[in-house]
Structure 1
Amino acid sequence: MERILVVGVTGAGKSTLARTLSGRLGLPYHEMDALYFDGPGWAVNSRLTEDVSRLVGERRWIIDSIGSPEVRDLLWDRADTVIWLDYPRRVVMPRVLRRSLRRTVTRESLFGGNRETWTGWLSREHPAWWAWSQHGTRRREVGSRTSDPRFAPLDTLRFGHPDDTAAWLASL
Structure 2
Amino acid sequence: MRKIYIIGIVASGKTTLAKRLSKQLNIPWHELDCVVYHQSDEGRYKRTPEKQQEVIADIDQSSDGWIFEGVDRSSYRCLYEMADTIIVLDPPLWKRRYRIFARYVKQQIGIEKCHYKSDLKMLRNMYQWTNDFERNRAEFEARLKPYQGKIMRVADSKELGLG
TM-score by length of structure 2 reads: 0.81
In the alignment, is residue 158 of structure 1 matched against residue 158 of structure 2? no
- 1:86 maps to 90
Matches within 5 A, 1:55-70: 55-57=59-61, 58-70=63-75
2:13 and 2:70 map into 1 onto residues whose CA distance is 11
SS of structure 2 residue aligned to 1:70: helix
Q: How many residues align?
A: 158
CA distance in 2, matches of 1:68, 1:132: 16
- After superposition, what is the alpha-carbon deviation per residue over 1:53-96, rounded to whole angstroms, capped at 9, x for unaligned? 11123321000124521232x21111010111112211111011
Q: Is the 8 A contact 1:4 1:79 kept in 2?
A: yes
**1:156: how far off?**
1.2
Q: Is the 8 A contact 2:20 2:162 kept in 1?
A: no
Report how far residue 108 of structure 1 moved: 6.1
Q: TM-score scaled by structure 1?
A: 0.78
Q: Indicate the percent of aligned positions where both proteins have the same amino acid.
A: 23
Range with greater deviation from structure 2 (62-71 or 86-95): 62-71
**Whole-Å Cα distance in 1 between the matches of residues 131 and 43 of structure 2?**
23
Alpha-carbon RMSD: 2.6
What stretches of structure 2 of length at least 5 have no aligned partner?
A: none
Q: Distance in 1 between matches of 2:21 and 2:140?
A: 20
Which residue matches 2:32?
32
Match status 1:116 vs 2:118: yes
Q: Map Cα deviations across residues 110-158 of structure 1 (whole Å, 9 max, x no partner).
A: 33xx321234445xxx223222332342x4344223321xx35x42111
Aligned residue in 2 for 1:146: 144
User: How many angstroms apart in 2 are the aligned matches of 1:107 and 1:18?
Assistant: 20
